[in-house]
């Protein structure tokens, strides 16, 4: 009578370990980018909190000249600083220690036919484009 061998051979186990290693090498950098993108979305929320006040002031006055007067960006958490200009341009700086990289979000308002149009950018920095939302990549 023949004896059947049970279990895996060493070669089969090494192939499985190699496949897992290749998958991990591809997945870990993508996961790091994903976590940074999630943290940058908090910067967008911080910048968006000023949009309502600026839009109200700009639409009620009919001009953006004094829409951002009196607004200040408070640093804390993922926000390391920022500013709001009198014309309503919002700049939020990301804390590199808590996010993983230094990211700047700039929201610029434009008054057009009693509507506020917002343009988002990173201040000309293309190295952080993979972390910011698609509308900020210009």
List C-alpha distances in Å: 48 to 20, 44, 55, 105: 41, 6, 11, 10
Structural domain including 43 reads 10-136
Whether 1 maps to a domain, the answer reads no
Whether 3 maps to a domain, the answer reads no
Whether 80 maps to a domain, the answer reads yes
Confidence of residue 1 (pLDDT cuts 50, 70, 90): low
Domain count, the chain: 1
Q: Which residues pair with 90 in a beta bridge?
A: 84, 107
Whether 44 maps to a domain, the answer reads yes
List C-alpha distances in Å: 112 to 64, 88, 120: 10, 14, 16
**What is the CATH number for 122?**
3.30.700.10
DSSP one-letter code for 29: H
Tens of pLDDT, residues 78-132: 888 899 999 989 999 998 888 988 899 999 999 888 788 999 988 877 888 888 8
Per-residue pLDDT averaged across 61-89, rounded?
87
């Amino acid at each position: 009578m023949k004896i059947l061998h049970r279990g895996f051979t060493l070669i089969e186990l090494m192939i499985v370990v190699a496949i897992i290693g290749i998958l991990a090498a591809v997945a870990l950098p993508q996961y790091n980018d994903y976590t940074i993108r999630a943290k940058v979305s908090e910067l967008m929320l911080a910048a968006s909190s000023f949009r309502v006040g600026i839009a109200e002031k700009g639409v009620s006055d009919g001009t953006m000249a004094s829409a951002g007067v009196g607004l200040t960006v408070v640093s804390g958490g993922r926000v390391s600083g920022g500013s709001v200009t009198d014309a309503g341009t919002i700049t939020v700086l990301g804390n590199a220690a808590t996010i993983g990289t230094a990211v700047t979000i700039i929201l610029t308002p434009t008054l057009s036919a009693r509507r506020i149009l917002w343009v988002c950018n990173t201040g000309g920095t293309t190295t952080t484009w993979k972390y910011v939302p698609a509308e900020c990549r210009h």
